[in-house]
Amino acid sequence: MSNHSGYKGKSLEFLEKHNLQVGNIVSVETDSTYSGILMPRYEYNDDKHIVLKLKSGYNIGLEIDKIKKIGIESSVNTKKETMVQPHVDPKLPKILLVSTGGTIASKIDYRTGGVTPALTAAELNATVPELSKIANIDTEVLFSEYSENLLPEHWKIIAEKINTHVKSEYRGIIIAHGTDTMQYTAAALSFSLSGIPIPIALVGSQRSSDRPSSDAALNLISAVRFLVECNTGGIYVVMHNSTSDDDVACHWGTRVRKNHTSKRNAFQTMGGSPAFIVKKDKIEKNPQFNVIKNDYIPKINFDTHVALVKYYPGLDPKILDHIISSGYKAIIFEGTGLGHIGKVMYEYVGKAKKKGLFLGMTSQCIDGMVRMTVYESGRDLLNLGMIPLGNMIPETALVKAMWALGNSKTIEDMEKIMKENIAMEFSD
């Protein structure tokens, strides 16, 4: 790695003039005084700034023309830390931690200046020593990807990995996962592994472990406690329940949604309360929460010929012609209100139905039930073959449709599956 990685032009001349290099801990005086690690820059950035990572974990850019004084406090110690393996207590239950990437499995990369999914599951386990007092943790890296890069093929790999351990000695399994698409993966596992007898916890963090406000450790500790003590099966998303560190929520995998870009309690159960709340001294079960009792017959297959169409005023209805001609077999609509789309779409909805596509209706509203018999427009869509999907979350409906299509021989079979409450995707 270059000692001035990402710097060019004026900023590079500035670093060379003051004998600075990436990794130095420096003190900088502008209108205020700052202390932090000199970070590399991205190749597309300008040449007018340097970047510091402050002790708070945040990065700031400082304009070099406004720097009055700069000096080296110390150099970063690049000596590799010795990994201390956790103590194995034969009296404790065993948990498997599978890493797929994301912020919870990230660390600072001084090559790029950001956090990257480069931390192995073993390192993650070792950085939270409290885990070894709750359970014996085995770790495995399945892949290392930001969750926005995960595809249905990855869902299948994760599900197959979990399935191989269902009858093992593990009390439960943690999937370390990025938060951006966690709800999609949770839904995919909920359907493909419906009836699973052991608990599976998808765990992420909104803030990387280099920041004092990181939620990574508490989410992990709470997930392990939940798996050890909950005495239930199913797929859950385990994340902060509030902006404080008072409690962590265990959301049912088909009823959860990420509703904030950066808050620690970004995830919420839609249409109800979380299935469980993990507190410091106890785990509280939602009294209205009851797991659907299904036989465990894993069906790990997905067909991605499903489109999610969000209706908005001005949407070109010809987009449905493109979907049909592209070989799609199902469309999930994200309609307005109780489940409506404009009448300009009706002709093309009729075409899609005649071509044999499954048509399902969800709502753009954050909460509430699709009811297509209240207004004339809804009844018109029902007559065209639209299937109302209750209060199923649009993203969950998309994933379920991919799964139902991948495990059906006909569209009629798929429609039947879509109407069944398989993994609590419908709630009261």
The residues that are catalytic are 103, 179-180, 258
Tokens 């297959």, residue located: 301
Q: Quote the tokens at residue 314.
A: 């001005």
d(C-alpha 57, C-alpha 208), whole Å? 9
Is residue 195 within 8 Å of 120, Cβ to Cβ?
no
d(C-alpha 339, C-alpha 417), whole Å? 20
Q: At what angle do helices 182-192 and 394-406 cross, to 10 degrees?
A: 40
d(C-alpha 55, C-alpha 27), whole Å? 12
Is residue 38 within 8 Å of 12, Cβ to Cβ?
no
d(C-alpha 402, C-alpha 360), whole Å? 12
d(C-alpha 45, C-alpha 47), whole Å? 7
Contacts 24+ apart (CB under 8 A), 126-132: 126/83, 126/84, 126/85, 126/86, 127/209, 127/217, 128/216, 128/217, 128/220, 128/221, 129/84, 129/86, 130/217, 130/221, 131/86, 131/220, 131/221, 131/224, 132/86, 132/87, 132/88, 132/89
Q: Which is nearest to 183 in space by CA: 258, 238, 291, 97?
A: 258
d(C-alpha 104, C-alpha 176), whole Å? 7
Give one DSSP letter per residue of 384-419, joined into a string: TT-EE-TT--HHHHHHHHHHHHHT-SSHHHHHHHHH
Instruction: Please give the angle made by the CA atoms of 318, 319 and 324, to the nearest 5 degrees.
Output: 95
Q: Which is nearest to 230 in space by CA: 177, 164, 274, 176?
A: 274
User: What H or E segment, with its residue span, contains residue 268?
Assistant: strand 267-269
Is residue 306 within 8 Å of 321, Cβ to Cβ?
no
Which residues sit opposite 203 in a β-bridge? 176, 238
Q: Which is nearest to 336 in space by CA: 374, 305, 307?
A: 374
Ramachandran class of 195: left when φ > 0, alpha when ψ lies in -120 to 50, beta otherwise: left
User: What H or E segment, with its residue span, contains residue 350?
Assistant: helix 346-354
